Amino acid sequence: MPPAPDIMTEDTEIISIEAAIALIRAAFIACGVPDATAQSVATALVAAESEGQVGHGFSRLGDYAAQARSGKIRADAVPEARATGASALVVDAGHGFAYPALDLAIERGSAMAQETGCAAISVTRSSHCGALSVQVERLARKGLIGLMVANAPAAIAPWGSNKAVFGTNPIAFAAPRDGADPLVIDLSLSRVARGKVMNARKTGKPIPEGWALDRDGQPTTDPEAALAGTMVPIGEAKGTALALMVEILSAVLVEATLSAEMPSYFTADGPPPGSGQFLLALRPGDASGFAARLERLLGFITGAEGARLPGMRRAAAIAAANRDGLRVPSMYLGAARDMAGGNG
């Protein structure tokens, strides 16, 4: 079946998922990105867009393309994996896009976990990895419990300071369910992902109060001032403690660049970011027993008045995107079409 046609509405358009992937892939190929890498990155960006993570979708295309052209991201890098133990895997992204490296990490790591019961997977010399939910769900759909953390350029200050040391350092978790989509939990350790602030700047919109502080540590609704300042952590001091834990796992352990020393994800100048990602894949020893116990637990949540399972809005957004297509700002689609040169 051919992709659904685009439908113009005011300053947004509706585009099918299939057409969106084809467009982004063509845009990257036109920028000199190899076909297989372009497909991997396009698939990940559209998956993030479809679940409502607009800061990790079409809004990243221009930045990624500029970084591929400048060499900040090495578009022709081929990730390499090596086992360092029966349950340990290291994937070197080669300073290329994170997504092909994560594809390899999940392919090799899930096979390792199925055989040994677990896999600790380190991804090093990587770059911006988008929505972690996309990656852990892939593990859960293979019958595995998935946990993933990642570091990013410094955006959160240690509690009591206004100097950024930690990235927004997200955490994601997914568990397989019997007869239902996986349970997926994805959270940034800032109140919102920094990509949402970047998206607000590009679309000329203010940000809500409580998202960020300016360079002097004062609350701001100006996305430009927010990007020059710091993000507000979740849970105050507890959020910065979690950010430290993530930094140790995704940077110190995997030998990646520390957030405090990492160049921006939003500019084309400077060296490769050298980011790190760390994943755990766990095989339940008794899959049917695990599934029954998980459903019993989730039943207590769904049976509580006013409660809902984490990830329900995400699941609804994905269902709507598959059914109705993606509503994307026309400025992003126009830029993608210009980059693709009519090949999208």
60 and 150 share a domain?
no
147 shares its domain with 27: no
Answer yes or no: is pLDDT of 246 > 80: yes
Do the domain assignments include residue 319?
A: no
318-340 pLDDT, tens digit each: 999 999 999 999 999 999 999 99
Closest CA to 271 of 24, 90, 67: 67
The residue range of the domain holding 13 is 7-70+326-340
User: Is residue 212, in this structure, part of any structural domain at all?
Assistant: no
Q: Are residues 121 and 264 in the same domain?
A: yes
Q: For residues 13-23, b (16+ Cβ closer than 10 Å) or e, as one string?
A: bbbbbebbbbb
Residue 242's CATH number: 3.30.1370.60
CA dist., res. 291 & res. 296, Å (int): 9
Q: Which residue has the higher pLDDT, 6 or 278?
A: 278
What is the rounded distance in angstroms from the CA atom of residue 298 to the CA atom of residue 178? Answer: 12
When pLDDT is averaged across residues 102-109 and rounded to a whole number, the result is 98
Q: What is the pLDDT of residue 210?
A: 87
Question: Does 151 reside within a domain?
Answer: yes
- 251 and 136 fall within a common domain: yes
Same domain flag for 173 and 25: no
Are residue 62 and residue 91 in the same domain, yes or no? Answer: no
Decide if pLDDT at 248 tops 80.
yes
**What is the reported pLDDT for 4?**
42
CA nearest neighbour of 70 among 214, 209, 250, 269: 269
Please give the single-letter amino acid code of residue 73: I
Question: Binning pLDDT at 50, 70 and 90, where does residue 9 land?
Answer: very low
Instruction: Please indicate, yes or no, if residue 132 is contained in any of the structural domains.
Output: yes
Task: Pick the closest to residue 243 from 253, 256, 234 (CA basis).
Answer: 234
Report how many domains make up the chain.
Answer: 2
| pLDDT, mean of residues 154-176 | 93
Contact 314, 48 (CB under 8 A): no
Residue 49 lies in a domain: yes
Shared domain check, 125 and 261: yes
d(CA 242, CA 154): 14
- Answer yes or no: do 58 and 88 share one domain: no
| Geometric angle at alpha carbon 74, from 72 and 80, rounded to 5° | 135
204 vs 106, higher pLDDT: 106
pLDDT, one tens digit per residue, over 173-195 is 999 999 999 999 999 998 887 87
Please tell me whether residues 42 and 118 are part of one structural domain.
no
CA distance 128 to 133: 14
Is 172 found in the same domain as 279? yes
Rounded to the nearest integer, the mean pLDDT of the chain is 93
DSSP assignments along 278-325, one per residue: EEEEE--SSHHHHHHHHHHHHHHHHTSTT---TTHHHHHHHHHHHHH-
- Position 103 in a domain: yes
Q: Are residues 94 and 153 both part of a single domain?
A: yes
**Residue 191: what pLDDT?**
83
Say if residues 126 and 98 touch (Cβ distance below 8 Å).
yes
Task: Taking residues 144-162, report their average pLDDT.
Answer: 94
Residues 173, 113, single domain; the answer is: yes
Q: Predicted confidence band at 217 (pLDDT cuts at 50, 70, 90)?
A: confident
The CATH number assigned to the domain holding 13 equals 1.10.1530.10
* Within a domain: 314: no
Residue 107 lies in a domain: yes
